[in-house]
Structures are given as structure tokens and as C-alpha cells.
Structure 1
């Protein structure tokens, strides 16, 4: 037997250290080539570290949350034969992502012949529930942990069917199904006292989001401005375009119309499409409109970027927004796709509420927040009519943007949305 020592790889871009976000294996686990061993967090994205060999894990080089230098020992694996006794970097990095993806591990195992797949740890029991020690932390992705927390399930009671006993979403479903079929459960279980608690380390992507939000609120002088917009006409236009062209060009949401409104309004308000370097005391106004579209993923808020929105049609913007959102949610967005925005658009869709106070995406100086659409009685030309109304809740950096300019900018967007033909008049 020999030992294969894997060092933290050089991920590029001059990065000298990374944060160890999550282990997907533990000491004693059998692993196969290409199986994901760990997730590490750079300044911009989460990165998979795969195994270059088959073998047994004999030592881990760090704990989740620990910052490790490039070239430091990441993991040691016992291999058949003499092994590669030299310390080596992990296989080339690895798909850039924003959320740990259990499916990648499963695919790596299942793609091997039956003999190679054998190292997968055997299930602890054959039923969907298993007892673990109280201090034993079961393997599961952050998305599965959040799902279990939302469902009120203790992960240590759930049998994992993934690689190395990893708990999957399907295992949570099986656990729930077993509980629902247990007719002997007391009728008052829903009202039973609970005394359990779970401590969750703020590491990886969640730590990065926390740092960025704290940094933004501490450095920028935030102020918000809220305006009510009548979206009846643009919703009618959207429905007409979808009916006429949806099958051939794809369905349009409201977002590409808002992107177009930003592009047109910024022609008269270039100070909103800017970045502020507060250390150098320099404001850079940009001609290109790179719109960040805030997107919720399993591990938190991502902001993929629609580049050169000023050169895109409605359908081009819609397709790019959809592509980027899917990439972010599936953990496949690249670093370039998650950086370089000049102004950000944020929306919670139907859950958007009445008003919000979005946090700036530094070093940008403006963010436009979209609230939900509701039907309300409004007075139009002396008549009470039902109209579709929506609020825009936007925030600005008062160090750069004056209150009057912010109000005029949002009023310009309002005019474009309420008279949608003006979006396309040059």
C-alpha cells in the first residue's frame, strides 16, 4: 500500500489562499477517481476538488471554515501498490460553482464499472430511518440541510443513500413518507415541545455573502426611494407578445422589459451606471450596461451578469436572464458570469412584498428592486378602474447619487414602463 498526498491546487487569478468550505468525505471513506472530496471558496466562487485516485481517506488537512494556503496539504489517500509518494496537487480544478452538488459525486461513482463503484459505503440499515450518535454529523449538502431544517427533520435520524452515506433530498422524502404511514404516531405530536438546537457555521458562500452585505452597509451611505408604477399596459403587451411569439422565441417575463427600461433611462442618468472606488476616490461611469440580476440559490444570493444589455433585444435579454439564473441555481455559473455588473436588478417575483430596501452591490451605486404586482382600484380620468400596480424599491449610494437625481431616474423608468411604446422609440 502507498500514500497519495494531495495539496491545495492553484485555482488561478493570483489566489494565494482559499477557504475550506465543506468536506464530502471523512477519514476511513473509500473514494473513487473523480469523486468530489471537498468544496473550497475563493473570493468569487465555490470550487469542487475531485480525487485523482482510487483509495481510502487516511487524513484530512483542515476543518471547514479554515483558510488554507495554495500548496498546503489538503488530504491523504491510501492507494494500492506503491502509490504516488510525491505530494501532488489535486486534479485540475474542477467545475466552478456556487453550491455543492451531490449529483456530481453520484455521477462520478455511477459512471465507474461495478467493481469500481464497490467502495461506496454500505447503508447503515435498510429502512429510511437510522440512529446515529448525537454528536455525529451526517454527510449532506447545505441545500439538504436547509430542507431538513425547514421540515423539522433531524438529519442524524435519516438514512443516507448517497455516496459514503450522504443524505439526499430523496432520503428526506422517504423519511417523511415513513412518518406519514406510521399510524401509531400520537395525534398531538405536532404540539410536542421541542428542545433541539443546531449550530451552523457561517462558512463558504454564506460567509462571503455576509461579508459583502456587511461591507456594503458599512461603507456606502444607503438611501432608498419607492415609487408606485402602473404596469397594466406593459403586462398587456407582454401577454400579447407571448401569445404571438412565445412558441418560437420563448416566453417573456417582466424582467427583460425592466432591463430595457434601465438601458433607456441610463442614457439620461449615466451617473447611476457607475462604480465608486472609495479608496481612490474615483467614480467610473460606464457606457456599457452590465445588469446584475439577483438570483436565489440553495446557498444564498448570487448575482449573475447580463452583459451589454444595451445591445440586446427583449428575447435576447430574456434568454440570457434564464440561462444565467439556471446556471447560478445549479452551481454552474462561472466567475466571469458572476462579476463585472454596473447596476443591479433584484426581484422576489410573486413574493416581492409591498416594499423592500435592497442593499447595494458594491462598488455599484444603484440597485433597482421589483415588488409584486397587485390589482387595485385606481382613479383614472375621474373613473375608478382596476389596474395592475407594482412598486419599485430602489437604493442608492448617497456619496455619489443625490436624492433628486435618484427620484428623477426612477420617475423616468416609471414613464417608460407605463408607456411601453417609448421603450422602443429611438
Structure 2
């Protein structure tokens, strides 16, 4: 017997460590070659790591939430017979050859990693196996489609995911767990509260917490809000959708992005990043627009590259593609990095006004709010006024006051307002 010491692989250029977000094996489990071992996370990308050999797991490094350095021991697998250094290198090379940039099959959460750290073998078969608490799901549960965060919460609550009715797409989400708890005694008819939950902050939720805390700690935010009449814009959108043919359906977002990109050249300080350690502001010519997207695991920000060069239909198609990639966990690190400005929208839940937190090191974030209908005084075309029902939407912008002055932020939003309230200008080059 020999022991295969599998080290944390190099999961990306410049990455020094990765966080364990879900173990799929435990000490004592028999694993096969290419079997999914563990999910790790770095830079908001969840990566699945597979076994290069078959054998029995005798040790694992750390629990869910622990951070492991690249090149450190990840787990130890006991294999049959003796293994030479040449065979060890061949095992590592085989994994490298099988790496795919396209990620896993539909329904799986992470993408595959490329283990480049050379495995190490030990022929010491006398070492005792260490007891390790299991965090893996049963075989039936493993077939259920769910994000790592949902799986972890189910384990914390003692819920068998196989017993939870999933959404229409077959994936179990937090809302499905809530429904399961309510139906199965989480709340009684008399209003009895369900048991308290203690949930470890790990994975994407941990990174969101760290990023938001750093943004509020380092950036002096200010927020400006303006009301826009979107009645004509909504009418234009309806007309475009009625004649769209096989093009993707237009939401409000592509129209707002087009307005942003048309106004940005006059206000380059909005489309910028601030390196506060080097004390350097970089103003970008291209608009690489971050699009805050809610997923089961938390907030992700996929990036629309060169948004200023795309028309409404191209923007709509890219928005749909990136949103689906984020929700399914298949967005690549390239698609989740490099934004120069971010838009965040809660759609019909947008509220009257928001004060969004800047996506550091960017210097601004734009938040369209909910559309509401209200009576307004408008021109009757004959020098007088009349009351009419209009569709109104507030636009919020939060800025880094170290880089963006209040006058510039207000002027930028007023430029957007002009285009939004005169939507024909959006279609003029």
C-alpha cells in the first residue's frame, strides 16, 4: 500500500490560497479516478477538484470555511501497491490533459481546476487514519441539484435534500428549504417560531462580506438620486419588442446601459478605478460594465465587455447569457472581473431609492429603482398644463467622493435623464 498526498493545485494565476466550500468525500470513503473530491473558491469562482487516482481517503485538510495555501496538502489517498515517481507524474499529467475551460455538465455548480502541483507518495502504510467529521452528503442527496450554500444550510438544519421539492428547473434553492421547514413543522399554526440557526459564513457569502466591509471602510460614499419620467421609454421598449422577431426580449436594462455609455465620454471620472495604495486613478475609455446578479449563493457581478460598442439587442443577449452563467455557477473568472463601472437593480423590488455600495476599486455604482405610476402635470401642447398618468423611476448613483465631485455625479445623472426622457436620442449614433 502507498499513500498519495494530493496538494492544493494552482487554481489560477496569482492565486495563493483557496477556501474550502464543500467536501464531497470524507475519511474512509472509497474514491475512483476523476471522482469529484471538493469544491474550493477563489475570486468568486467556485472550482471543483477531482481525484487523479483511485483509493481510500485517509486524511483531509481542514473543514468547510478553512483557507488552504496552494501547494499544501489537500487530502491523502491510500492506493494499492507501490507507486513510482514516474507514475505519480503521469497521474498529474493525466489530470492536466483532462482539464476543460468549459466547466462541467449542465446542472453542476463549479468549474474544473487544473492541478499542477506535483503529487507526493509515501509508502508508510502504518500511519493511523485520523478521525474527521463528515461534511459530505449521502449518495441520494448528491444527485440533487443545489448550490454549495444551499447544501451547507440543509446539513446545518439536518434536512435531507432528497426530500425537498425543488423549483421548476429541478434545482433546490433557499426558498425551497424555507417552504420545506414551514410545511414540516418549522412554524406551527399557532405561530411557534422555528429553531434558531447558526450558519457559518463561508464561500461566496464570506467574500461578499469582506468586499462590502472593505468598500465601506475605505471609500467615502455619497449618493445622488434623481427622478426620471420613463413613460416614453417604456413605450419605445414595447414597440421594439413587438417587432423583435427572433431577437432577445428587451428589458429596461439594455436601454439604461445605452444611456450610460452615451453620457460617459463627457464624465470620464465616473468610469474609473482608484488604486488608493498607489494613489493613482485610471480612467477607462471602454465601458466594461459590471452587472450585479443575485444567485442562490449570493451576489455576483459578471461583466459586459465593451458595452459602449454593443447595440440594444447585443446588450440584451449578453445580459441574458451572463446572468444565466452566474446563476448556474458556470461564469468564468474572466467574466467576473475587470469591470470599470457597475449597475445594480432589484427590478420590481427596487424601492423608491437605494444607496448602493461601490464595487471597489471602482468609483461609482448606478442603481435604477422601481417604476411607479403617478399623476403629473405635463404640457398640453397649447401653452397650458394637464394632469396625466406617467411612469416614473428614480435613478441612484453612489460615488467615491475622493475621486468624483457631487456636481459631476449630478451632471452625469442629468445627462442620463435627458436621454431617458427623450428616448429617440438613444437610437441616434
Which TM-score bucket, shorter chain as reference?
0.7 to 0.9
How many angstroms does 1:263 deviate by? 0.6
How many angstroms does 1:305 deviate by? 0.7
1:398 and 2:401 aligned: yes
Q: CA 1:42/1:173 → structure 2, altered by over 3 Å: closer, same or farther?
A: closer
Name stretches of at least 5 consecutive residues in structure 2 with no aligned partner. 111-136, 165-170, 380-384
Partner of 1:165: none
Task: Identify which of 282, 295, 298 aligns with 1:297.
Answer: 295
Partner of 1:386: 389
Query: Tell me, what secondary structure is at the counterpart of 1:217?
Result: helix
Partner of 2:129: none
Partner of 1:36: 36
CA offsets, 1:75-95, max 9 Å, x none? 122334546785976944967
Partner of 2:75: 75
- Partners in 1 of 2:174 and 2:30 — Cα distance? 21
How many angstroms does 1:229 deviate by? 0.8
Query: Tell me, what secondary structure is at the counterpart of 2:420?
Result: helix
Query: Tell me, what secondary structure is at the counterpart of 2:246?
Result: helix
How many angstroms does 1:14 deviate by? 2.7
Matching of residues 237-316 of structure 1 within 5 Å: 237-245=236-244, 247-316=245-314
Query: Tell me, what secondary structure is at the counterpart of 2:158?
Result: helix
1:234 and 2:272 aligned: no
Q: CA 1:296/1:121 → structure 2, altered by over 3 Å: closer, same or farther?
A: closer
Q: Could you state the TM-score of these two structures normalised by the residue count of structure 1?
A: 0.80
Partner of 2:150: 143
Q: How many residues align?
A: 383
Q: Could you state the TM-score of these two structures normalised by the residue count of structure 2?
A: 0.79
Task: Identify which of 402, 406, 411 aligns with 1:408.
Answer: 411
1:189 and 2:188 aligned: yes
Query: Tell me, what secondary structure is at the counterpart of 1:371?
Result: strand
How many angstroms does 1:264 deviate by? 0.6
Does the CA contact (< 8 Å) of 1:273 and 1:366 recur in 2?
Answer: yes
Does the CA contact (< 8 Å) of 1:47 and 1:97 recur in 2?
Answer: no
Partner of 1:321: 319
Which piece of structure 1 moves more, 168-177 or 51-60? 168-177
Partner of 2:364: 366
CA offsets, 1:263-316, max 9 Å, x none? 111121111111111112111111111111111111111111111111111111
Partner of 1:50: 50
CA offsets, 1:8-31, max 9 Å, x none? 101231322222232122222333
1:6 and 2:6 aligned: yes
Q: CA 1:97/1:397 → structure 2, altered by over 3 Å: closer, same or farther?
A: farther
Query: Tell me, what secondary structure is at the counterpart of 1:205?
Result: helix
Does the CA contact (< 8 Å) of 1:298 and 1:329 recur in 2?
Answer: yes
Name stretches of at least 5 consecutive residues in structure 1 with no aligned partner. 106-119, 125-138, 163-167
How many angstroms does 1:344 deviate by? 0.7
